[in-house]
Structures are given as C-alpha cells and as structure tokens.
Amino acid sequence: MVGREELIEMSIIIEQGAWDRFEKPGYPEDITTGGMGPCTGVIVFNRDTGVTYGTHLPAPHTHEADVLAEMLGNAADEFSDSSSVDICISGCCENLPLPDYNPSEIRSYVEGEVREAFPHGANINVCWPEAGTTSISMTLDPETGNFYFD
C-alpha cells in the first residue's frame, strides 16, 4: 500500500503563479499545490469527467487577480452543465511576518471569487489552515475525488 507521503512524491505539481487544466491523470498521479505559506490554492474537480483546474497564487487578490478570474471562468464555463463539481480552497496561513500581508482580506477575496464563479451546483470546501500553521499542501486524488492536506 502506498502512503500519503509516497503518493505526494508521485503528484503532478501545480506551478506557482499560473493555473493549469488537467485531464484525468489516473493513479498514482495526484494533483497537488505543493507547500503554501502565504500563497493560496484553488482546485476545481469535475467528478464526472475527471477534468481538474488548479492554481497556486502568491497574491490572488492583487496582481494575480486576472489569473484567478480566468481560471475560475474557464472552469465554470466548462462545468456549467455538471452537478458533480468539487472545489477546495486552502493556503493563506496566518501569523506570517510578511509586510502588507492580510490573510483575512485574501481569504475573503478568494472565497468571494469562487462563490461568484460557481453560484449554484458546486460543492465548495474552504479549508484554511489552523492558526500557527506556516505551510500547507493541498492534494487531490482524482481517482477517489478526495482532498488531502499536509
């Protein structure tokens, strides 16, 4: 049996600063955001088709707002007829000593953008890390549709 740590080593990594679209990759290629401290990750997964959109953005509320909007718009358009869409949002750790870093503002912005792009029919999971967490990874297993956090 493959443990979560080994599975993450076999993951497709969503590169920081852009969005990606993945066809159903199949086991053992999970889709992961990698380590996120102040960064925010969003993964949109269609259980019917296995198509996944994902992003890992350092500042989704400022200069990368267009990247987030483009990815969410493309996913929403492609999945508009599906009732089997799961979305997971994570990252944006609190209490990081960074200048001009406001996790509450970023979290509110990202959640708002996701909810606006998917007003009906998507299962939206918001999984912000607990206070004191300095980095988190979000991984989707496209075979099961399960999300994991490390």
The total of structural domains in the chain comes to 1
Q: How high is the pLDDT of residue 11?
A: 82
Residue 51 has pLDDT above 80, yes or no: yes
For residue range 2-20, list pLDDT tens digits in order: 344 544 457 889 989 989 9
Q: What is the pLDDT of residue 27?
A: 62
Is 71 inside any structural domain?
Answer: yes
11: which residues sit within 8 A by CB, 6+ positions away? 29, 30, 31, 32, 139
**What tens digit of pLDDT does each residue of 116-145 get?**
999 988 999 999 999 999 999 999 999 899
Q: Using 50, 70 and 90 to split pLDDT, how confident is the model at 93? A: very high
Task: Quote the domain boundaries for residue 54.
Answer: 4-140
Q: Is residue 146 assigned to a domain?
A: no
pLDDT at residue number 134: 95
Q: What is the average pLDDT score of the chain?
A: 90
Residues 96 and 107: their CA atoms lie apart, in Å, by 14
Is residue 148 included in any domain, yes or no?
Answer: no
Does residue 90 fall inside a structural domain? yes
Q: Report percent pLDDT > 70 for the chain.
A: 91
Considering the domain boundaries, does residue 150 fall inside one?
Answer: no
HSE-up of 93 (CA within 13 Å, CB side)? 17
Residue 147, domain member (yes or no): no
Would 145 be classed as within a structural domain?
no
At CA 68, angle to CA 123 and CA 138, rounded to 5? 55
What pLDDT sits at residue 111? 97
Instruction: Give the CATH number, domain containing residue 42.
Output: 3.30.1330.200
